[in-house]
Amino acid sequence: MNKDLSRVIEIPEGTEVVINDKEVIVKGNGNELIKKFDKGKISLIVTDNKITISAKGATRRESKMIGTIWASINNMIKGVGENFVYTLEICNVHFPMNVKVEGDRVIIKSFIGETVNRIAKILPNVNVDIKGSQITISSCNIESAGQTAANLEKATKLTGRDRRIFQDGIFITEKPGRKI
């Protein structure tokens, strides 16, 4: 392949982007996101409210890395503007389940009649709000919000039982940008 590749990202007003060696810092709207990238031969340049991601003589690997870095920086810019929101639903058919937030974890009591509590970790800078059977997860970092939602879903995963009958659990019903 070995082509000269580049992608450009527009920086909206009120957002500040600083690039230090391997670290990208995005500030805006009272939020700050920091992420480190292993760039290799890829260069990141900020000029006139634009970020240019480029590589000279890029191979397939560098092409993929440019796409990944481009998507990550776009998500960081969107995140400092507004939060990413995940919506989950608590479904219990057999036994009533109690779900509550304690510090940096979610405690799930009486899942399918179990006496042992199940625990899901909440990542830093993520807000978890439980109202009735609806759980709302919001954060300016899409990766942290998504991982927290996945932790909740995984904590109530059933094995060794028929999913058609045992439909209890916590399930993601809405992700940023689409309804499931």
Model pLDDT, residue 114: 86
Q: Which two tokens stand for residue 34?
A: 């920091």
Dihedral in degrees, nearest 10, Cα atoms 160, 165, 166, 169: 120
Say if residue 14 is in the same domain as residue 71.
yes
Q: What is the CATH number of the domain that holds 54?
A: 3.90.930.12
Say if residue 12 is in the same domain as residue 25.
yes
Contact between residue 108 and residue 156 where contact means Cβ atoms under 8 Å apart: yes
Q: Which of helix, strand or coil describes residue 6?
A: strand
Q: Which two tokens stand for residue 179?
A: 């309804």
Q: How far is CA 75 from the centre of its chain?
A: 9
Say if residue 96 is in the same domain as residue 174.
yes
Model pLDDT, residue 140: 94
Residues 69-115: tens digit of each pLDDT: 999 999 999 999 889 999 999 998 878 899 999 999 999 999 888 89
Contact between residue 127 and residue 141 where contact means Cβ atoms under 8 Å apart: no
Domain that holds residue 175: 84-179
Overall number of domains in the chain: 2
Model pLDDT, residue 158: 85
Please provide the DSSP assignment of 103-171 as one string.
Answer: TTEEEEESGGG-SSPEEEEPPTT-EEEEETTEEEEEES-HHHHHHHHHHHHHHT---SS-TTT---EEE
Rounded average pLDDT per 10-residue block, the chain, 180 residues: 87 91 90 90 90 91 93 94 94 88 94 91 95 95 95 91 84 88
Say if residue 62 is in the same domain as residue 147.
no
Which of 81, 99, 121 delimits the end of a domain? Answer: 81
Rounded to 5°, angle at Cα 89 from 107 and 151: 45
Q: Which two tokens stand for residue 132?
A: 């009735």
